[in-house]
Chains A and B, each alone.
Chain A
Amino acid sequence: MTTPVIRSSLVLSRIPIVTPDVPAFEKAFYQYQEQLERRLMWTFPKWYYFKKGTVAEREFSKAQKYPIPNHRNVWFPKGVPDLKHGRDRRFKQDIILPKKNNDVEVSTTTDDGGESAASELQNLDDIGRPIKANSRITIFDEKNDQTSLERKLPRTLYLLIKNNNNNEWTFPSFEVSNDQINKGLHNIAEEGLRNIGGDKINTWTVSNTPAALIKHNNGINEFLIKSHIIAGKFNPTNKNEYKWLTKEEIQDIVSDEYYSKINHLLSQ
Chain B
Amino acid sequence: MYTSRAAIRVVSHVKPTQQVRYKRDKTGLNPQLERIVSQLSVMSAGRKQPRLLKLCNEDYVKHKTVMKAWSHYRKAKIQENEKLLQKQYESMKEAVSELQNLSPELFEIANEHQYGKRFPLELRVPTEYPPRQIWFYDYFPKQEAK
Classify A-B as touching or not with yes or no (CB < 8 A).
yes
How close is A243's CB to chain B, nearest CB, in angstroms?
Answer: 16
Measured between beta carbons, the chain B residues less than 8 angstroms from A209 are 92, 95-96, 110-111
The yes or no answer to B105 lying at the interface (CB within 8 A) is yes
Q: Which of A32, A47, A186, A231 contacts B122 (CB 8 A)?
A: A231
Q: Which of B45, B123, B130 contacts A228 (CB 8 A)?
A: B123
A85 contacts B47, CB within 8 Å?
Answer: yes
How close is A205's CB to chain B, nearest CB, in angstroms?
Answer: 10
Measured between beta carbons, the chain B residues less than 8 angstroms from A185 are 99, 106, 109-110
B123 contacts A89, CB within 8 Å?
Answer: no
- Between B49, B88, B94, B103, the greatest number of chain A beta carbons within 10 A of the residue's beta carbon is seen for B103
Q: Which of A222-253 contact B (CB under 8 A)?
A: 223-224, 228, 230-233
The yes or no answer to A109 lying at the interface (CB within 8 A) is no
A134 contacts B47, CB within 8 Å?
Answer: no
How close is A49's CB to chain B, nearest CB, in angstroms?
Answer: 9
How close is B30's CB to chain A, nearest CB, in angstroms?
Answer: 15
The yes or no answer to A197 lying at the interface (CB within 8 A) is no
A42 contacts B50, CB within 8 Å?
Answer: yes
**Chain A residue total in the interface (Cβ 8 A):** 71
A149 contacts B111, CB within 8 Å?
Answer: no
A-B contact pairs, 21 of them (CB 8 A): A4-B102, A17-B134, A19-B126, A25-B73, A39-B50, A40-B53, A48-B42, A84-B47, A87-B50, A92-B50, A134-B129, A134-B132, A135-B130, A153-B130, A176-B103, A204-B123, A207-B114, A209-B110, A213-B95, A221-B98, A264-B91
Beyond contacts A136-B129, A185-B109: 14 other A-B pairs, Cβ-Cβ < 8 A, are A15-B123, A18-B130, A25-B73, A43-B48, A48-B42, A89-B49, A90-B50, A91-B50, A135-B130, A150-B134, A176-B103, A181-B105, A211-B92, A212-B95
Which B residues are within 8 Å of any A CB, using their own CB? 38-39, 41-42, 45, 47-51, 53, 66, 69-70, 73, 84, 87-88, 91-92, 94-96, 98-99, 102-103, 105-106, 109-112, 114, 117, 119-120, 122-123, 126-132, 134-141
